Amino acid sequence: MTAAPSSYAALPADLLRDRATIVSLWVSNLGHPGRREDKYDWFYLRNPAGPPQVLLARTPAEDGVAIGVIGLGTRQMRLAGQTMDAGLLADFGVVAEHRTLYPAMLLQTTLRDRFLPQLGLIYGFPNPKSEPVVKRLGYRVAGRMVRHVRVLRSANYLPTQIPHSIRRIVGHTADWWRHALRRTRHAHDFRGYLAQWLDQPDARFDALWAAQNDAALLIGVRDRRYLAWRFEQKPWRKFRFLTLSARSEGLVAYAVCEVVGKVMHVRDLLCHPGHPDSLDLIFDRLFRDAYADGRTSVSFEFLGPVGMVDALQRLGMVARDARNVMCTMADTRAEALHQAQWYLTSADEDY
């Protein structure tokens, strides 16, 4: 039986004492039981920006059973040369028998009121079922994370009614002409550059991060320490770094990649502002390597400057679908954040 609204309370959790309770709520509400312990250790205990905050919804009041949970990860970001802490909404769930609007709103409201004044910005990637809740709390759409896809092997996407042998011939011919036409129109000069795959970031990544100088960009910190934690040290997934270096100037671009089935996913990307061709060059190499490795497509989910989106389209990537990024801002930061251009990739999520 669902408790009356007045009997619920949203209270801070202790990350060590309440570990079993939090993980149990995740398993029952968010699935993937096999990796919840690993997620807890990685995201909640080893975050280089500091320990996340967790609230538990209990009923009745303080000594009741925990029936809901919400997390807020610390994400260091930079705007106009100044580093700021933002909050990343994470791991929100309420058990089925208490899944009415009140417990969900209580968790979200308490989290916003408790932490927004000190952070200045809270953002997240709510699923469609959670969006109405956060919108009622004053969250707005910061932008759309668009999934851009470049098909490498057309045969896999032709109608299955066509015989396999014909699909292969038609697909191979279409791919050859499409790739040849793109390279004719957009020839890339690789002289003076070196592309290399790495399993972990090195010291050059700090220099590339330090070179980012767009004052209008709201971007999460992407130094070596963060990238190592976010990708190399993540326990249940495997990522690799494709790097592009200028022989005389060091690292000018990287792409963090993950293979899922036949698709090469770009999970993060950063280019040197002083090398405008670096995005074209690193994707051209990525397309070639993914094709040689038998991949059928390359996918990149991104919210960022129009110029970069135009470049992705020029490279043959097509927008397939999108989802909202929601945010709420403290009054002291609202004006600057409203004017900022967001730069978000999968590196800015918690999964």
Residue 345 lies in a domain: no
Indicate if the pLDDT at residue 61 is higher than 80: no
CATH number, domain at 61? 3.40.630.30
221-270 residue pLDDT tens: 999 999 999 999 998 899 999 999 998 889 999 999 999 999 999 999 99
Residue 340 lies in a domain: no
Residue 229 lies in a domain: yes
Q: 130 and 260 in one domain?
A: no
Query: Residue 33: what pLDDT?
Result: 84
283-310 residue pLDDT tens: 999 999 999 999 999 999 999 999 999 9
Query: Residue 249: what pLDDT?
Result: 85
Q: Where are the alpha helices (DSSP H) in the chain?
A: 19-30, 36-39, 45, 101-119, 131-136, 164-185, 204-210, 224-227, 278-292, 306-314, 331-339
Residue 336 lies in a domain: no
Residue 191 lies in a domain: yes
Query: Residue 176: what pLDDT?
Result: 53
Residue whose pair of structure tokens reads 């993937």 in the numeric block: 32
| Domain around 251 | 146-324
Q: 194 and 107 in one domain?
A: no
Residue 12 lies in a domain: yes
Residue 351 lies in a domain: no
CB 272 within 8 A of CB 315: no
Q: 158 and 305 in one domain?
A: yes
Report the alpha-carbon distance of residue 161 to residue 31 in Å, rounded.
36
Per-residue exposure over 41-61, b if at least 16 CB sit within 10 Å of its own CB, e if not:
ebbbeebebeebbbbbbbbee
Residue 346 lies in a domain: no
Q: 168 and 265 in one domain?
A: yes
Q: 61 and 190 in one domain?
A: no
Indicate if the pLDDT at residue 52 is higher than 80: yes
Q: 162 and 100 in one domain?
A: no
Q: 284 and 193 in one domain?
A: yes
Query: Would the pTM of this model clear 0.95, i.e. be above it?
Result: no
